[in-house]
Amino acid sequence: MRILLACPYAWEAPGGVQTHVRQLAGTLADRGHEVLVIAPGRRAPVEPWVRIVGRPIAVPYGGTVAPICFSRVSWRRVREVMWWFEPELVHAHEPLTPSTSMLAVEAAQVPVVATFHAYLHRSRLLSAAAPALRRVWRRIRVRVAVSAAAASFVARAFPGDVEIVPNGVAVEPFEQARAAEGLPEGRRLLWVNRLDRQKAFPVAVRAFDLLARELPDLSFVVAGEGRDRAAVDRLQATVRRRVVMLGTVAHADLPPYFAACDAFVSSATGQESFGMVLVEAMAAGLPVVATDVPGYREVVRDGIEGLLVPPGDPVALASAVARILGDRRLAERLADAGRARASEYSWERIVPRLEALYLVATGA
């Protein structure tokens, strides 16, 4: 099948949607489909099967910044790609975001499948925009959400069935990685995420500060960048020296850091629809400590693959990490269950479910 995938966010920017689309495109191509991706971007893509259709602008939304593009120039480029590629199906991601995916839905002359990735507890903007977005919603033949949380988010504003198909994750690189070198000796706690309000990095930093007083061999490895980076500068110098700030790490370069650590932590506040990074941590055999929020709790079950704690509570976060690091049997049990859980999200299991929905959309 000839499939056009539409990504709403800047192709070169780090993000779960971009990672999802990139891996989905590769898996579909490996299974014999002809695939083309369109997305906004600031530079030429490395992948020959990607077309940049506009220059993004950064728009603050929900405690983070969305690099999106919605312009007359982009509209023209989307239609040009549609004309020469002649897709049999369009798979648009986050089509209610005013960017490339929405333009692709409007330009499509073939069946459209759409995947919804986002979750917010409430969105006044979505509620206000719903009447204008219903035209886009009606043009989608098959609607997919990556979790029950994401499905509930769109269901508040739009009627109709939504299939739940979880994010696929390339688990093999995390299962097979060798440990990164050059990190501090002793045990290591890992963070991989943006350092913005939505991810609540300062909560994790305060938790590490508490842990550092009791565990002198523990260091904190941080992969990510953002405005909350300054949270580590408020630590005492002796503790700050035990924090390794890696900055932004390309997704393909992350597995060795997972392999080198002993536990994974995420303190997100609640705007999580899934938790791809949690699956990657489980695939690497890391016990997970995360906040008990919608999306995360669909991926990690408390006491089975990891420990879940209330959001915004550094004491609870530190206590859960200390419990794992202090109980080898618990850590091993969580790690074993996590590896099994991660395999459920492998692309080999997820893509056939999407292909079945493609056939439903096209009537094949």
Rounded CA separation 208/215 (Å)? 10
**In CATH terms, are 2-168+346-362 and 172-343 the same topology?**
yes
At 29, is the pLDDT very low, low, confident or very high (cuts 50, 70, 90)?
very high
pLDDT in tens, 181-195: 999 999 999 999 999
For Cα atoms 49, 52, 53, give the angle at the middle one, nearest 5 degrees.
130
pLDDT of residue 93: 98
Q: In whole angstroms, how far apart are CA 66 and each of 8, 9, 37, 211, 352?
A: 9, 7, 19, 34, 30
pLDDT in tens, 310-333: 999 999 999 999 999 999 999 999
Q: Of the given ranges (154-158, 287-291, 356-360), which has the lowest mean pLDDT?
A: 154-158
Return the CATH number of the domain spanning residue range 172-343. Answer: 3.40.50.2000
Rounded CA separation 185/269 (Å)? 31
Average pLDDT over the chain, rounded to an integer = 94
pLDDT of residue 59: 84
pLDDT of residue 336: 98
Neighbouring CB atoms inside 10 A of 244's CB total 16
Mean pLDDT of 244-264: 97
Q: Of the given ranges (123-132, 138-147, 256-265), which has the lowest mean pLDDT?
A: 123-132
pLDDT of residue 61: 63
pLDDT of residue 127: 65
The structure tokens listed for 228 are 């909350």
Contact 272, 260 (CB under 8 A): no
- For the chain, percent of residues with pLDDT exceeding 90: 87
**How many contiguous H segments (helices) and E segments (strands) does the chain have?**
14, 15
pLDDT reading at 262 higher than 90:
yes
At 7, is the pLDDT very low, low, confident or very high (cuts 50, 70, 90)?
very high
CATH architecture of 2-168+346-362: 3-Layer(aba) Sandwich (3.40)
pLDDT of residue 125: 64
pLDDT of residue 121: 52
Q: What are phi and psi of 230, to 5 degrees?
A: -65, -10
Rounded CA separation 190/200 (Å)? 15
Domains of the chain by residue range: 2-168+346-362, 172-343
pLDDT reading at 301 higher than 90:
yes
At 58, is the pLDDT very low, low, confident or very high (cuts 50, 70, 90)?
confident
pLDDT of residue 355: 98
The structure tokens listed for 347 are 């692309």
Rounded CA separation 103/153 (Å)? 21
- For the chain, percent of residues with pLDDT exceeding 70: 96
Neighbouring CB atoms inside 10 A of 176's CB total 11
pLDDT reading at 270 higher than 70:
yes
At 248, is the pLDDT very low, low, confident or very high (cuts 50, 70, 90)?
very high
